[in-house]
Amino acid sequence: MNLQLLQTRLGYTFRDPGLLQQALTHRSHSSLHNERLEFLGDSILNCVVASILFERFSALTEGDLSRLRANLVKQQSLYEIATRLELSQFLRLGEGELKSGGFRRPSILADTLEALLGAIFLDGGFEHAREAIRAFYIPLLDSVDPRTLGKDAKTLLQEFLQSKKISLPTYNVVATHGAAHSQEFEIECLVPKLGIQVYGRGGSRRAGEQAAARLALDVAEQAMQKSPSAARKQKPRSAQLKLAGIATDQSADQAVAQGASQQSAQQSEQNQAESKS
C-alpha cells in the first residue's frame, strides 16, 4: 500500500503516519478505527464548504447557499471525490467487508474521506484541512451553475415553465410493472401548451416523476431554443412523444395527415374551377 501516493493526491504529507492509518481503517478491521475522525472531518468539511460558497456567490440567498452546501457534502459527492482519489485501494477493511466488496461501497468511501479530513486537521491544523477541501471543490464550482446545482428535475422543470409563463406540468401514473415488493412505476408528464407528453419510470412514484420531468425539461428547452413562438403554439406530435423507447398515441400525426389531405383536395378543386373559367 503506497501511502505516499495517497498523500500526494491529498496535497498533504502527514507528520504522524498513525493518524493516516487510523483514518483509513474501517471498524471491521480493528478497534482503532476512523469513526471519531469521520465525525470531526464532517464538521470541518461543512464549515469550509460554507465559507467557500459564502465568498464565491455573494448574490445567493441563505436558502440557496444551504442547498448548494447540502449537495456538495452529500454522500454521493464525497464518493465521487474519493473515487477520483482512488481511495478504495488504500482502505483497511476486515475480512468480511473485503469479501462483500466494501471497498466499493459509497458509504465507506465517503466516510473515509471525511476521516482523512479530520486527520489532516489534527495533524496539521485547520489551514491544511481547508486547502485540501478547496482543492477538491474549487475545480467543481468552476464548472457548475449554482442556480441549478442540487435541484431535482421536477423543480427545474417548474422553474423553467414559470419563467416562460407556461402552466405547470401534470403527472399521472399510467402503469405499474413487476411484483409488489419490486414495483416499477410508469409516470406520464404533460405540458399541454408545449405539446409535451413524456414517460418516465422509477422504483417509486416520486422516482418515476423525476425521470419524466427530466425528459420533459430536455424537450421543453429544445423546443424553446428552436422557436420560442412556435413552441408555444404547436400541437402534440408523436415525434415529440416517443421518448425513452415508449411508443405513444399516433392520433396527433393522423390528424395532421388528414388536414394536409383536405387542404390538397381543396387546392385541386380550386385549380379545376379556375381552368374552366
CB 23 within 8 A of CB 118: yes
Nearest alpha-carbon partner for 156 in 77, 228, 210, 222: 210
Between 75-84 and 106-124, two packed helices, what is the crossing angle to 10 degrees? Answer: 80
Distance CA 27, CA 91 (A): 11
CB 189 within 8 A of CB 216: yes
Mapped onto helix, strand or coil, the DSSP state of residue 62 is helix
Distance CA 35, CA 40 (A): 9
Distance CA 211, CA 167 (A): 19
- Residue pointed to by grid coordinates 481547508: 130
Selecting among 42, 111, 186, 209, the annotated active-site residue is 42
For the CA atoms of the chain, what is the radius of gyration? 28
Active site residue 42: yes
Cα dihedral 147, 186, 215, 167 in deg (nearest 10): -70
Q: Where are the alpha helices (DSSP H) in the chain?
A: 3-10, 17-23, 35-56, 62-73, 75-84, 95-99, 106-124, 126-141, 153-163, 205-226, 228-233, 238-241, 251-276
Selecting among 38, 97, 114, 209, the annotated active-site residue is 114
Hey, which residues are catalytic here?
A: 42, 114
